[in-house]
Amino acid sequence: MTEGAAQATGSAAPWLERAARRPVLALLLLAMFAWLPGLSTLPPLDRDESRFAEASRQMAETGNYIDIRFAGGTRYNKPIGIYWLQAAAATLAGPALRSRISVYRVPSLLGGILSLILTYECARVFASRKTALMAAALLGSTLLLTAESDIATTDAALLSAIVAAQAMMMRVYLAARDARYGNPRLAAILAGWAALGIGVLLKGPIILAVLAATALALSLWDRDWRWLRGTRPLPGLVLAAAIVAPWAIAIGLASHGAFYQQSLGHDFAAKILGGEESHGAPPGYYLVLASFTFWPATVFLIPAVGSAIVRRGDPVNRYLLAWSGAAWLMFELVPTKLPHYILPVYPALAILCALWGAGSNRELETRRTPVLHYAAGAQFGLAALTLAAASLFLPLRFGGAINWPLIAGTVLALVASCAAIVFLIRRRVDSAATSAIASAVAFYLLLAFAVAPQLHDMWISPRAAKLVADNRRPDDPPPVVAGYVEPSLVFALGSDTRIESADGAAGVVAAHGGLALVDGRAEPIFLHELSSFHAADRQLGQVSGFDYSNGRKERVILYRVTSSLRTPATPGN
C-alpha cells in the first residue's frame, strides 16, 4: 500500500475495526435494520412472490413434496428447492400463521444472511477481516439484495449457493496460481459441489451457467485448463447428481415429463431465445440499472473496477473480474431481462469495492484517478436523489400523503448520502463506506415504515380480500374470482379460491351461491350470464387501484349471489 493510500485509510472508522472482531454479529445487525422492516410491512407482491408462497402453502397443506401446484393447476417453471424451504417454514410456523406472507419470506432472509457470511469467508482467503467485512456489508446494503431478501422468491437463497460454489472454485484457482494460497481440503471442495447441487434444485441451470462462464473466462484468459482438475470434478459431479437426482426422477415420473417440457422446453428456453413475458431488453440494460440496484456500493464501483483492471495480473483480481465480467456479459446477451437476474455478479463486485476501499488495489493510482472518484460520486448521488424523490412522490401518486416524519427521514438519508460523497472525494474511504451504508439503511427504513404502508392504491389484493372477509358468512362456499386473478389475491383469499372466467364464475355462483369477486372489465359478461340463470345478485362493495403488474387501473366488485338451480333461460321462454 502506498503512503497516500495508507493515509486515506488511516482514519479508519473505529466501529469497523471493532465490528470485524465479530463479523457474523455485525452482519446480522445490518440485516436486522436493512431487511427485517420490509419483510413485515410489505403485503404479498405480484406476481412471482405470491405464486411461490401459494404453491408452498399448498405443499405444506397437502403433504405432497414432489409435485408443485398453484390453485387448481400445476406450477412447473422452477425446481423444488425453494418450495421445500418455504413449505418447511410454513410447517414450523403452524396452521395459524400460514396465511402470513412473512412466513414464506424467511428462507429468502436466511439465504441473504448466508450469502453475506459466505462472501465474508470468501474474501477472508486473501483479505483482512475488516476488508472482508466491508465487502459483505456493501453487498448486504445493496438495493437489489435487500429487495430479494425481503420477498419469497428464489434469488437470495440461490445467491448463497452460488457464493459457496464460487468460493470453492476460487480457492482452487488461487492455489494453482500462487503458492501462498494452500490447496483447499477435500471437504471444502465437496461442500462447493454440494452447493452446486442445491443451486440446481433452487433454480435449475442458472448456477451452472454462472460457474461455467467464470471457468471458461479464466481458462481462456490464462490459456490453461489444468487448474480445473483441482476441483475434483468426478467425485464432485457424483455428489451434485446425488443431491438433484432423487427429486428429478420423481417429478419426471409424477408429471409424466410435463415438468421438463414446461420448465426447460418453455420457461428456460423461451428466456434464452427471446424476451419472455414482455421482459426483453437490449444489451446494456444491467449496466444502466446497476447505478440503482448496486447502490450504495456504487460509491466505490467505478474506481474499484478500474483499479482491478489495471492489476488484472493478480490472481485475486483476475478471478473476481472473470466472475463478474463473464457472468455480466452472459446476462446482458440473454434477451429476457429482469433486474434480479444480475444478482450473482454482485458478490464479486462488492469484494472488488472492498479491496479498493482498503487500499489493496490503489498502488497504481495516477493523477487521473480523481476523475473516477467524481464519477463514482455522481453515480452514487444520482441514485440517492432518485430514492429521495421516490420516497416523496410515491405516496402522493398512490393514495398517501407527505408528512413531517417522511420529510425528516428523507432529509436525514440524503445528508448521509452527501457525507459519503464528500468523504469519497477526500479519500476517507472508511468514512465514505460507513456513510453510504448508513444512508441505505435510512432509506430502507423510510421506505418500509413511511412509504410502503401509504401506497393504498397499489395494494388492491389485500383490500379486496378484506372486503371478502368482512362479508363472508360461515356457510359460504369458497369465493369465486373472475378477471382480476392476480396471485396475491389468491394467496390472500386462500388455497380453496375458485378461479373462473366471467361466464364460468356466473355459472358457479348461480349453482352454489356465495361471493364472487369480479373485475370491472369482466362485470358485464358476468352479469349477463348470471341473468340467464335467474339468480339474484347484490353488489356488496368494490375496491379500485393501480395494478403494477400490468400497469393499468383496476376496479374489483364483490357480489353476493343467491343460488339458483334453474337451467339457463332460452329465447322465447
5 pLDDT higher than 70: no
557 pLDDT higher than 70: yes
Beta bridge partners of 190: none
Sequence letter at residue 155: D
522 pLDDT higher than 50: yes
Q: Are 319 and 104 in contact (CB under 8 A)?
A: no
What is the rounded average pLDDT for all residues in the chain?
A: 91
Q: What is the pLDDT of residues 231-263, one digit of tens each?
A: 999 999 999 999 999 999 999 999 999 999 888
Q: What gap in Å lies between CA 459 and CA 472, rounded to an integer?
A: 21
pLDDT at site 1: 39
**Alpha carbon of 526 to those of 282, 460, 485, 489, 572: distances in Å?**
41, 20, 15, 19, 22
Percent of all residues in the chain with a pLDDT value above 70, rounded to a whole number: 91
**pLDDT tier at 10, thresholds 50, 70, 90:** very low
pLDDT at site 270: 64
Angle at 85 between CA 84 and CA 90, to 5 degrees: 95
Q: What gap in Å lies between CA 474 and CA 233, rounded to an integer?
A: 60
Percent of all residues in the chain with a pLDDT value above 90, rounded to a whole number: 82
Q: What is the mean pLDDT of residues 350-360?
A: 91
Residues 6+ away with beta carbon under 8 Å from 88: 107
Q: What is the mean pLDDT of residues 206-227?
A: 97
pLDDT at site 488: 96
456 pLDDT higher than 90: yes
Q: What is the mean pLDDT of residues 27-41?
A: 95
Report DSSP state, residue 138: H
pLDDT at site 71: 84
Q: What is the pLDDT of residues 170-190, one digit of tens each?
A: 999 999 999 889 899 999 999
Output the CA torsion sign for 212, 213, 219, 220. positive
Q: What is the DSSP annotation of 517-544?
A: EEETTTHHHHHHHHHHTT-EEEEEEEEE
567 pLDDT higher than 50: no
- Domain-by-domain residue ranges, the chain? 3-272+280-448, 459-562
**pLDDT tier at 69, thresholds 50, 70, 90:** very high
425 pLDDT higher than 60: yes
Q: What gap in Å lies between CA 559 and CA 359, rounded to an integer?
A: 66
128 pLDDT higher than 60: yes
pLDDT at site 11: 47
Beta bridge partners of 553: 546
Q: Are 492 and 55 in contact (CB under 8 A)?
A: no
Neighbour-count burial of 253, counting CB atoms closer than 10 A to its CB (0-12 exposed, 13-18 middle, 19+ buried) = exposed
pLDDT at site 548: 92
Residue carrying the nine cell digits 421445500: 84
Q: What is the pLDDT of residues 267-300, one digit of tens each?
A: 666 666 655 555 668 889 999 999 999 999 999 9
Rounded to 5 degrees, what are φ and ψ at 555?
-135, 125
Q: What is the pLDDT of residues 442-451, one digit of tens each?
A: 999 999 999 9
| 3-class DSSP state of 499 | strand
Q: Are 339 and 287 in contact (CB under 8 A)?
A: no
3 pLDDT higher than 60: no
92 pLDDT higher than 90: yes
Beta bridge partners of 73: 70
Q: What is the pLDDT of residues 392-416, one digit of tens each?
A: 999 999 999 999 999 999 999 999 9
**pLDDT tier at 364, thresholds 50, 70, 90:** low
pLDDT at site 72: 79
pLDDT at site 570: 46
Residues 6+ away with beta carbon under 8 Å from 17: 130
2 pLDDT higher than 80: no
